[in-house]
Amino acid sequence: MQVSMTVNGSVRTLEVEPRMTLLDALRDELGLTGPKKSCDRGECGACTVHVDGRRALSCMTLAVMHDGQAITTIEGLAHEGQLHPVQKAFIEYDGFQCGFCTSGQIMSAVALIEEARAGWPSAATTDVSRTFSKADLSDAEIRERLSGNLCRCACYPNIVDAVAEASQRI
């Protein structure tokens, strides 16, 4: 099937098999290796990308479902040669070790900051009757919102610190 999507700002048209995941299309057809193929079951978050501005596990969705949509991978996060504030914070706070999960962690972190800015509560939000704001992003909120992204090196304290710092910059 033919599918056309805007990937990292460029319109890309692909011929894909109907059962091909978005992850496989990005990696195998477009050569974008930022989203990682790890568990291939939606359990680890290493394949996290943004679809029309919302985070998605690219291993759990089919490429044909995204015809006409905008996909952003870690490769498309920097702007005009400048790293995104979350990418900078991950470097400054040493929010990675082996780096395998890092692209998914960063993509989720960017999304969670936007979700908080939009006022979306999480399971860690203590008072859902009150409007949530980005200023309410406590360490517990950040941990809850990143809970679908696993790090085998256990860099969680540094990741939380990096996200907290980046949320202040954005």
Please tell me the distance from the alpha carbon of residue 102 to that of residue 108, in angstroms, as a whole number: 10
Last residue of some domain: 48, 76, 104? 76
Q: Give me the CATH number covering residue 107.
A: 1.10.150.120
Tell me: do 38 and 103 sit in the same domain.
no
**Nearest of 112, 107, 53, 101 to residue 84 by alpha carbon:** 107
Residue where one domain finishes, among candidates 47, 76, 105:
76
R_g over Cα of the chain:
16
Do 101 and 157 have their domain in common?
Answer: yes
Sheet strands side by side (includes 10-15):
10-15, 2-7, 70-72, 48-51, 54-57
CA distance 149 to 43: 8
pLDDT digits (tens, 9 = 90+) for 25-51: 999 999 999 999 999 999 999 999 999
Residues 71 and 92 in one domain: no
Distances (CA, A) of 5 to 12, 28, 71, 126, 152: 5, 15, 7, 39, 32
* SS3 (DSSP) at 164: helix
**pLDDT tens digits along 93-144:** 999 999 999 999 999 999 999 999 999 999 999 999 999 999 999 999 999 9
DSSP three-state, residue 153? coil
Residues 70, 98 within the same domain: no
On the CB side of 62, how many CA atoms lie within 13 Å of its CA? 11
Whether residue 44 contacts residue 149, with contact meaning beta carbons closer than 8 Å, is answered with yes
What per-residue confidence (pLDDT) applies to 149? 96
φ, ψ for residue 82, nearest 5 deg: -105, 130
Tokens standing for residue 105: 């962690």
Q: How many domains does one find in the chain?
A: 2
* Co-location of 72 and 8 in the same domain: yes
Q: Quick one: 69 and 94 in the same domain?
A: no
Same domain, 106 and 40: no
DSSP conformation class of 84: -
Of the pLDDT bands very low, low, confident and very high (cuts 50, 70, 90), residue 77 is: very high
- Residue 91 confidence (pLDDT): 97
If phi > 0 it is left, if psi is from -120 to 50 it is alpha, else beta; for residue 45 that is left
Together in a domain, 89 and 161: yes
Query: Do 65 and 100 have their domain in common?
Result: no
Last-in-domain residue among 43, 76, 109: 76
Same domain, 44 and 102: no
Could you tell me the residue range of the domain that residue 57 belongs to?
Answer: 2-76
State the pTM of this model: 0.96
- 156: tokens are 């969680």
- 42 and 89 belong to one structural domain: no
